Structure 1
Amino acid sequence: MSARPDFKTRAGAALADPVLKVAIDRTTGNAERKRAAALAAFPEFETARARGQAIKDHVTAHLGHYLEQFERNATARGAQVHWAADDAEARAIVTRICLAAEAKLVTRAKSMLGEEIGLPHALADAGIERVETDLAEHIIQLAGEAPSHIIWPAMHRTREQVAELFKTGHQPPPAAEDPATMVQSARRVLREKFLSADIGISGANFLVADTGATCTVTNEGNAELTTTPPRIHIVTAGIEKLVPSTAHAFALLRLLVRSATGGEMTQYTTFHAGPRRPGDADGPEEMHIVLVDNGRSRMLADEFREMLRCIRCGACMNHCVVYRQIGGHAYGGTYPGPMGSVLTPVLDGLAASRDLPNACTMNGRCAEVCPVGIPLPTLLRAWRRRSWREGLEPGSLRAGIGIWAQVARRPRLYRLATRIGLPLMRLFGKGGWIARLPLAGGWTAHRDLPRPAPQSFMDQYRAQQKARK
Structure 2
Amino acid sequence: MQANKPENFYQNVKDALAQPDLKMIIRRTTDKAEAKRAEAIANFPGFENARKQGQKVKDHTIKYMDHYLAEFEKNALAQGTIIHWASTAEEASKIVLDICRQHEAKKVTRSKSMLGEEIGLSHALDNSGIERVETDLAEHIIQLAGDPPSHIVWPAMHRSREDVIKLFREYHKDPTYSEEIIDLVRSARRDLRTKFLTADIGISGSNFLLADSGSSCTVTNEGNAELTITPPKVHIVTAGIEKLVPSMAHAIPLLRLLTRSATGSEITQYITFHNGAKRPNDADGPEECHMVLVDNGRTKMLADGMEEMLRCIRCGACMNHCVVYKHIGGHAYGSVYPGPMGSVLTPHLNSLEVANKQTHACTLNGRCEEVCPVNIPLPKLLRSLRAQSWDKKYEPLTNRFVVKAFAALAKRPMLFQWVSSCGVIFMKLCSRKGWIRSMPLAGGWTRNRDLIEPESKTFMQQYKAMKKAKSDGA
For the aligned pair, the TM-score class normalised by the smaller chain equals over 0.9
Q: Which position in structure 2 is the counterpart of 1:76?
A: 78
2:254 to 239, 252, 255: 252
CA distance in 2, matches of 1:148, 1:88: 22
Distance of 1:433 and 1:42 partners within structure 2: 44
Following superposition, the deviation at residue 230 of structure 1 comes to 0.3
Q: Is 1:297 matched up with 2:299?
A: yes
Q: Quick check: 1:303–1:379 contact (8 Å CA) kept in 2?
A: no
Amino acid at match of 1:280: D
Could you tell me how far apart the structure 2 residues matched to 1:348 and 1:95 are? 22
Query: Aligned partners of 2:41, 2:412: CA distance in 1, in Å?
Result: 47
Q: How many angstroms apart in 2 are the aligned matches of 1:106 and 1:448?
A: 50
Deviates more, 1:433-442 or 1:111-120: 433-442
> What is the DSSP-based 3-state SS (H/G/I as helix, E as strand, rest coil) of the residue aligned with 2:318?
helix
Q: CA deviation at 1:133?
A: 0.1
Question: Which of residues 36, 41, 44 in structure 2 aligns to 1:34?
Answer: 36
- The Cα shift of 1:202 comes to 0.2
SS at match of 2:203: strand
Q: Which amino acid aligns with 2:342?
A: G
How far the C-alpha of 1:436 sits from its partner, in A, is 1.0
Aligned to 2:133: 131
Q: Who is 2:389 aligned against?
A: 387
Task: Confirm or deny: 8 A CA contact 2:174 2:190 kept in the other structure.
Answer: no
Which of 156, 159, 169 is equivalent to 2:158? 156
Question: Equivalent residues in 2 for 1:171-190 (5 A)?
Answer: 171-190=173-192
Tell me how far apart the structure 1 counterparts of residues 4 and 65 of structure 2 sit (CA, whole Å). 39
TM-score (norm 1): 0.98
Give 1:173 deviation, angstroms: 2.2
Which residues in structure 2 correspond to 1:413-428 (within 5 Å)? 413-428=415-430
Task: Write the distance in 1 (CA, Å) between the matches of 2:388 and 2:334.
Answer: 20
Cα deviation per residue 1:236-261 (whole Å; 9 max; x = unaligned)? Answer: 00000000001111110000000000
**Cα deviation, residue 430, structure 1:** 2.1
Matching residue within 453, 461, 467 for 1:465: 467
Partners of 2:183 and 2:4 lie apart in 1 by 41
Q: Deviations over 1:82-140 (max 9, x none)?
A: 10011111011100000000000000000000000000111112211100000000000
User: 1:260 & 1:89 partners in 2: Cα distance?
Assistant: 30
Q: Which amino acid aligns with 1:202?
A: S
Helix, strand or coil for the counterpart of 1:291? strand
Q: Deviations over 1:38-72 (max 9, x none)?
A: 00000111100000000000000000000000000
1:348-359 → structure 2 map (5 Å cutoff): 348-359=350-361
**What is the distance in 2 between the residues matched to 1:307 and 1:431?**
46
What does residue 95 of structure 1 align with? 97
Cα distance in 1 for residues equivalent to 2:59 and 2:89: 25
Contact 2:4 2:334 in 1 (8 A): no
1:171 maps to amino acid = K
Letter in 1 for 2:29: T
Task: Give the share of equivalent positions with the same residue, in percent.
Answer: 61
Structure 1 residues 3, 196: closer, same or farther in 2, change over 3 A?
Answer: closer
Runs of 4+ in 1 over 6 A off after TM superposition: none
Q: Aligned partners of 2:430, 2:177: CA distance in 1, in Å?
A: 55
Give matches, 1:215-364, under 5 Å: 215-364=217-366
State the Cα distance separating 1:2 from its structure 2 match: 12
Partner of 1:43: 45
In structure 1, how many angstroms separate the alpha carbons of the residues matched to 2:358 and 2:370? 20
Root-mean-square deviation (Å): 1.3
Shift of the 3–79 alpha-carbon distance from structure 1 to 2, 3 Å rule, reads closer
Is contact 2:107–2:200 with CA below 8 Å preserved after alignment? yes
What does residue 85 of structure 1 align with? Answer: 87
Moved more, 335-344 or 454-463: 454-463
**Secondary structure at the counterpart of residue 343 of structure 2:** helix
State the match for 1:110 in structure 2. Answer: 112
SS of 2:405's equivalent? helix
Q: Structure 1 residue 3: deviation in Å?
A: 9.8
2:432 to 421, 430, 433: 430
Please, which of 6, 11, 20 is the counterpart of residue 9 of structure 1?
11
Say if 1:400 and 1:334 are closer, same or farther in 2 by CA, change over 3 A. Answer: same
Summarize deviations over 1:287-335 as a string: whole Å, max 9, x none.
Answer: 0000000000111122211000000000000000000000000000010
* Structure 1 residues 396 and 34, CA gap change in structure 2 (3 angstroms): same
Q: Indicate the larger mover: 442-451 or 47-56.
A: 442-451
Q: Match of 2:323, SS?
A: coil
Q: Which amino acid aligns with 1:91?
A: S
Contact 1:95 1:123 in 2 (8 A): yes
Task: Give the secondary structure class of the aligned counterpart of 2:461.
Answer: helix
Is the contact between residue 174 and residue 191 of structure 2 (CA under 8 Å) also seen in structure 1?
no
Asked if the contact 2:169/2:177 (under 8 Å) is kept, the reply is no
Q: Which runs of 5+ in 2 are unaligned?
A: none
Amino acid at match of 1:348: N
Q: Tell me the TM-score normalized by structure 2.
A: 0.97
Verify the 8 A CA contact 1:303 1:382 in the aligned structure 2.
no
